[in-house]
Structure 1
């Protein structure tokens, strides 16, 4: 697999670099869920056009990473599904949905994966877990009251992506997540216990509760049933993250 990009997602995919030679993974572009400009979004759209043209010329499948988080499914009634009409909740979600539509219209072989929140070492400064860890250590955590997030360990994500690519899917869209959205306050509390800290919590605007449907994922990748996904899965994800920091 050819990997386009050098950031957190691209590094996450490196174990698959020697597999799936028929695939180009676009693991670059705008990763900020807030604060990006129209120029930032335009650059990612242009990059997608260029990589799609490359794949059309070589006959390779383009693996594109979208979002299954609040920006995409925040308005959904019930768990967000791949086969229903989506009304994006944020400009970032609208941008990712527009890129999905751009890719489908290109006619190139592709697979779109809508990701939950990947968690692993070397996350980008602005991403959820690095931000929460930094704030816990600094003593003050700012969070949206009632907000939830679906966390997915990078090792589990790699296994899932590997299986989906091996299945030969083309022209399809799949949610890749645990299926269990956890209150952000619970995530903060567990990080604080692991680090033996007691940060002050500050609450801002009302947060959004959402859920991601993994029905399609479970049908395509039966191994998901053995990954331990459930209400307490996030604790193992966070335990592994902190352990990796001290390895």
Structure 2
């Protein structure tokens, strides 16, 4: 496997570098859902187009990471399915859907993975966990009213992708999520308990949250059904919270 990129996902998928020959993982591009300059979207698209041409020429399989967040699944009610209608709510979601369409229309062998809110070490400061930890420690956290988050450990993402590639899953889209989203307030509750801090909560607006279907994932990787138990999100947050609490403490002196 060749991993292209230098960020959070790229670092974690480097553990599979000796596996899956002929597979190229596009682990680069936009990693946060808001405040993204158009130039960043354009740069990622151009890089992906070039990679598609290369993989087609060399007969390689291309793995692309999209999103299963509310940026993509934004209509309350029935769980969002890979083959169902989607109405992306942000430029980030629309950008990912457009790149999915480019891959679907190409001749390259590919696998599109719509990721839930991935949590792990060494993430961008504006991603979910580092952002929440920083805000809780500051004493004030800003939340979207009605927001739910499906949190998944990056280690489980790597395992799931490894299994999908081993099974030869190809030319399709798969939601990689737990299927068990929780209100964002519960995430804050747990972080406060871990950190021993109480933060004021400010609500900025109301958002629609659509659950994510994991039926396809479970049919392809049955062992993924163990992900998403009732206390799963707590275990994942506890596993990584002090990485960001520590870095925040160090940064503030």
8 Å CA contact retained: 1:125, 1:131: yes
Structure 2 length-normalised TM? 0.93
Deviations, residues 47-77 of structure 1 (Å, cap 9, x unaligned): 1101111111111100000000001001253
8 Å CA contact retained: 1:160, 1:221: yes
> Residues 1-247 of structure 1: matches in 2 within 5 Å?
1-75=1-75, 77-227=77-227, 229-242=228-241
Deviations, residues 121-147 of structure 1 (Å, cap 9, x unaligned): 111011111100110111110111110
Distance 1:102 1:214 in 2: 24
Gaps in structure 2 of 5+ consecutive residues: 247-253
Shift of 1:230: 2.5
Question: RMSD of the alignment, in Å?
Answer: 1.3
Distance 1:211 1:242 in 2: 25
Shift of 1:208: 2.5
Shift of 1:45: 0.8
More off after superposition, 203-212 vs 54-63: 203-212
Structure 1 length-normalised TM? 0.95
Distance 1:244 1:220 in 2: 33
SS of 2:72 mapped into structure 1: helix
8 Å CA contact retained: 2:75, 2:209: no
Distance 2:201 2:230 in 1: 23
More off after superposition, 178-187 vs 236-245: 236-245
SS of 1:95 mapped into structure 2: helix
Would you say how many aligned residue pairs link Structure 1 and Structure 2?
A: 245
Deviations, residues 11-63 of structure 1 (Å, cap 9, x unaligned): 12111111111200000011121111222111111011011111111111000
Shift of 1:244: 5.4
Distance 1:30 1:209 in 2: 22
Distance 2:184 2:241 in 1: 17
Deviations, residues 139-189 of structure 1 (Å, cap 9, x unaligned): 110111110110001111111010011111111110000001111111011
Distance 1:161 1:241 in 2: 21
8 Å CA contact retained: 1:76, 1:87: no
Shift of 1:223: 0.9
8 Å CA contact retained: 1:113, 1:176: yes
